[in-house]
Chain A
């Protein structure tokens, strides 16, 4: 059983839709992340939260809106997306933000924007 769970695993949405990705970590970690993985591109860090506070927004367009109600849950709210936003969105967590902490990933949410 994975320590980081993501739902839904697959999502197809139109460009005018609003949807959300959900992530929950069961590892007791304090930091959570959203990454984007597009075909033939490196992993891109999108957002970082530490103790529910956002510490990093890696120049992500405002059509992606994160929410972290507590250290165990992380959401990514999606609205008016573009087809180029189609990708695998990975949630992850780590005990802390200090160097050397291992980042544990969820299974990802495959997003297709039509």
Chain B
């Protein structure tokens, strides 16, 4: 079975704190892709990152960083020095080799950054 679990339903932090959003996935495929999306209150899901299963290098983009660990089937997302504009729902997704329309989304983590 393929599954994405985002166990943290909601997280609240104070501005400038660092926060990590967890994503754990299950798949028997050796080739797959992982994604993170941000959904602000306006509704649009904004693409943040794509990672393939053969690339375990961590990625940093400004205040955002991602830690991919195949050994624990995790693809965690860290926001450093959080800002109020980071408040949103964040989704992790798994794309199996069978095609993009088989994207498996997690249930999302709502992040609230308080001023």
Contacts and interface: CB of A to CB of B under 8 A. Distances in A.
Real complex partners, A and B? yes
Interface of A: 2, 9, 31, 33, 42-43, 45, 48, 55-56, 88, 90, 92, 94, 96-108, 110
A13 B82 CA distance: 39
B42 A107 contact: yes
A103 B100 contact: yes
Interface string B85-104: 00000010001111111110
A107 B45 CA distance: 7
Interface of B: 31-33, 35, 37, 42-47, 50, 52, 91, 95-103, 105-107
Contacts of B42: 107-108
Nearest to B107: A42
A99 B91 contact: no
Contacts of A106: 44
Interface centre among B95, B97, B100, B103 (most CB of A within 10 A): B100
Nearest to B89: A37
A97 B37 contact: no
Contact of B52 (A48, A96, A100, A105): A100
Nearest to A41: B107
Contacts of A94: 100
Contact of A108 (B43, B47, B91, B95): B43
Nearest to A58: B101
Contacts of A97: 99-101
B45 A99 contact: no
Contact of A96 (B43, B100, B102, B103): B100
